[in-house]
Amino acid sequence: MKKENTFVIIVGGGPVGLSAAIELGHRNVPAILITENLETAKHPRCNNTNARSMEHFRRLGISEEIRANAPLAKYAPQVAFVTRFCGHEIGRIDLSKYRSTTNVAGTEFQSSERSITISQLFLEPILKRNAELKKSVSVRFGFRMIGFVSVTDGVLVDVENIQTGERFQISASYMIAADGARSPARRQFGIGMSGEDGQIENAFVAGSMLTYFIRAPSLISESGRKPANLTWILNHEIRAFVFSQDGGERWIVHYRIPEGVDWKTVNHEKVLNAVFGKPVPYEIITSGPWAGGLALVADQYQAERVFFVGDAAHLFTPLGGFGMNTGIGDAINVSWKLAAIYEGWGGASLLDTYGVERRPMGLRNSRLGVKCSQRKGAWQLPANIEDADEAGEQARRVFGEFAVVDDLEEYNTSGMQFGELYENSPIIFHQGAAPIADTWDNYIPIDHPGARVPDFKITETETFHDQLGDSYSLAIFSNDIDAKPFVDATASRGMPLKIVKCSPPLHLYQCKLALVRPDRHLAWHGGAMPANALEIVDRVRGA
């Protein structure tokens, strides 16, 4: 059997696996990505790439390409609440101010990036193309992992070419398992998942769900309403929601199947007519079931030299849009650490911090979708919500005013995106409890070890984050501090270090020195050059 060697094998070619490939390739780490898919996604699941993910993509040089290829980017992001797609509009949320680069009040810069609505249909080809451009990475669609064994110095993976049937083996020092919800890699280690399994009472999205990916070019004109990225269908007959994929022609319709009904017996014409409110021409491109109401997190994120990322590590109810985005955070975290090992400066315990840091984020982020689903499920619709008379109009107006306020937390998630805090990581110099409470909808910048470092503008086109390096960076906020102790300490360990000198807004940073990780989290800060620079360097590199 033919045998190949690499440093990292990535199993899975969705957005998370491809993000890992790009990060590793950006750092010139040898990697092979395999996926049994012959091409990128044809049935979309993800629709939102949030601002934190876009920050990662900005650092990797691809955020502008993503934005330029997002068909919905030219439209103001909107959420509509309607009785039927072609029925009465109840309320509408304009998401523009919640996707700004400033805070909700528009008074303070938060990030160089903002969330963008982009279907997986358009995102995956961009990620695949950029992964393929990396010289150290081999991207192989149409190749299936048929088994693997762990060995002392890595993994041996048996691979099959789906089109030719040829089999060969890849020997890798490490595996990133981005192999989906059923994750053969995770199951081989006997690692389960804990949390909400979808059997949630009174939830809007729970239990058995059915998705129709359709082409319906006349749907907007038939509705007589302004377009919306996301449309919630609220009536006493059916529970559903509809995502636009390209601004007018292709749509994803999610429908909750009544309890006890086999999805294969569902009449799509009856369901879609109920969603639309009248007959509208459509073509089903693909369809299939999925489980709603999930908040499941793997009991372990690492087994030996295998790391679980994305759906292999956590399964979320999609409300709030944190499934893929949390997975991208996983991929970035483990990839820079693997690069440190490959480059020779990463310490013996560095890789063990992956699960310590990312599993709490999986638990934290999993709660949003369930909470939003339960909240919508508790809504009491007026009995006359579909009536065309004045009383019906008044009922819709009153309920709509309530719904747009009650549902806002699902879309205003800056606190969750930028507020990730690695509280128990051994490679962070912790300094007591965080000075603020973790909230989903409100981000308060803090220069606290473990947190994402607050960003700020240097010029109109460049920010503090832009100036930071690919490895660790030492930011110096004072003219009277000499960086030599840190420069000497990192040089003695072969660890790259970029020195950044600038003047941040005083309310953002109370420190004069900030040691920032490759993923833009704060590892250590201080008011003066420490006497133990080498001790700090050894700790943050996992020695």
The residue whose two tokens read 């059916």 is: 238
- Rounded Cα distance, 85 and 318, in Å: 21
**C-alpha separations of 480 from 340, 491, 497 in Å:** 31, 22, 19
How far is the C-alpha of 275 from the C-alpha of 91, rounded, in Å? 17
**Cross-strand pairs, 145:** 159
Query: Rounded to whole angstroms, how far apart are CA atoms 176 and 31?
Result: 10
One of 3.60.21.10, 3.40.30.10, 3.40.47.10, 3.50.50.60 is the CATH number of 2-70+118-193+295-365, namely 3.50.50.60
Give me the phi and psi of 8, to 5 degrees please. -130, 135
Domain ranges of the chain: 2-70+118-193+295-365, 75-117+207-292+379-410, 419-540
Give the tokens for residue 71: 């068909």
- Structure tokens of 74? 């030219």
Of 344, 334, 10, the C-alpha closest to 172 is 10
β-pairing, 167-177 with 306-308? parallel
What does CATH list as the number for 75-117+207-292+379-410? 3.30.9.10
2-70+118-193+295-365 matches 419-540 in fold: no
H-helix or E-strand spanning residue 306: strand 306-308
How far apart CA 438 and CA 422 sit, in angstroms, is 12
Q: Interior CA angle at 66 toward 64 and 67, to 5°?
A: 65
Residue type, 460: E
- Class in CATH terms, 419-540: alpha beta
Task: Write out the chain's pLDDT in tens, 543 residues.
Answer: 899 999 999 999 999 999 999 999 999 999 999 999 999 999 988 999 999 999 999 999 999 999 999 998 878 789 999 999 999 999 999 988 777 666 655 557 889 999 999 999 999 999 999 999 999 999 999 999 999 999 999 999 999 999 999 999 999 999 999 999 999 999 999 999 999 887 766 678 888 899 999 999 999 999 999 999 999 999 999 999 999 999 889 999 999 999 889 999 999 999 999 999 999 999 999 999 998 889 999 999 999 999 999 999 999 998 888 999 999 999 999 999 999 999 999 999 999 999 999 999 999 999 989 888 889 989 999 999 999 999 999 999 999 999 999 998 899 899 999 999 998 999 999 887 777 777 888 888 989 999 999 999 999 899 999 999 999 999 999 999 999 999 999 999 999 999 999 999 988 998 999 999 999 999 999 999 999 999 999 999 999
